Amino acid sequence: MKGLFLKHPVMRKLLAFGLMAGFTLALAEAFKVAPEKYRGWNHVKSMVIFDQKHPLFNPFNGVHHVYVNNKGLEAIKRDGEREFPNGTVIAIVFYEHVHDNGAYVEGAKRIEAFMVKDRKYKETNGWGYFAYDGNGNNLVKDMAKDCHACHSQVKNKDFVFSVWTK
């Protein structure tokens, strides 16, 4: 039965397509770090984007925190020209900002995003970009368009905006 199924040319095409789609999906979601892990890294900075007038309000509104692993620590402390070593991972996590009696506190998790320095990401100057919504769904279709284009504003800082809060 299985042999017959595979001999059918349309079925073969469908199967090949399914495998390819599955493979692309696997590639697209290949990288994720657990909160328990990145929250044990180095905290770089935090920020609250609470008003429409901020250019990042849509989609990056809320409270966010940035963390870097030990590999990238020295570079992120350098403001201006810098180059992150292979193996650097930077995490940014966004939460809703909830008004609480004169304070903004963290609400539900909105986005988790990662930048990974690896030479294999040739088209995006050695950075891999990954992002997920609060339910863990992949948000990146095209690293170059969805992420790297905007990060190219800070090419001179090796595409990383964040600077260590002193």
Tell which one of 75, 84, 88, 92 touches ligand HEC (CB under 6 A). Answer: 92
Tell which one of 100, 160, 164, 166 touches ligand HEC (CB under 6 A). Answer: 160
For residue 48, state whether it binds ligand HEC (rule: CB under 6 A). Answer: no
Which listed range, 9-17, 21-29, 102-110, 147-155, lies at the site for ligand HEC (CB under 6 A)?
147-155
Token digits of residue 122: 């040739």
109: enclosing H helix or E strand: strand 103-117
Contact 116, 128 (CB under 8 A): yes
Q: How many CB atoms lie within 10 A of CB 129?
A: 21
For residue 89, state whether it binds ligand HEC (rule: CB under 6 A). Answer: no
For residue 129, state whether it binds ligand HEC (rule: CB under 6 A). Answer: yes
Q: Which residues contact 5 (CB under 8 A, 6 or more apart)?
A: 11
For residue 140, state whether it binds ligand HEC (rule: CB under 6 A). Answer: yes
Tell which one of 114, 117, 124, 158 touches ligand HEC (CB under 6 A). Answer: 114
Residue with smaller CB distance to ligand HEC, 79 or 146: 146
Token digits of residue 11: 């079925």
| Token pair 């986005």: residue | 111
For residue 49, state whether it binds ligand HEC (rule: CB under 6 A). Answer: no
What count of Cα atoms within 13 Å lies in the side-chain half-sphere of residue 121?
Answer: 21
Contact residues toward ligand HEC (CB under 6 A) are 45, 47, 56, 66, 90, 92, 113-115, 129-131, 139-140, 146-147, 150-151, 160-162
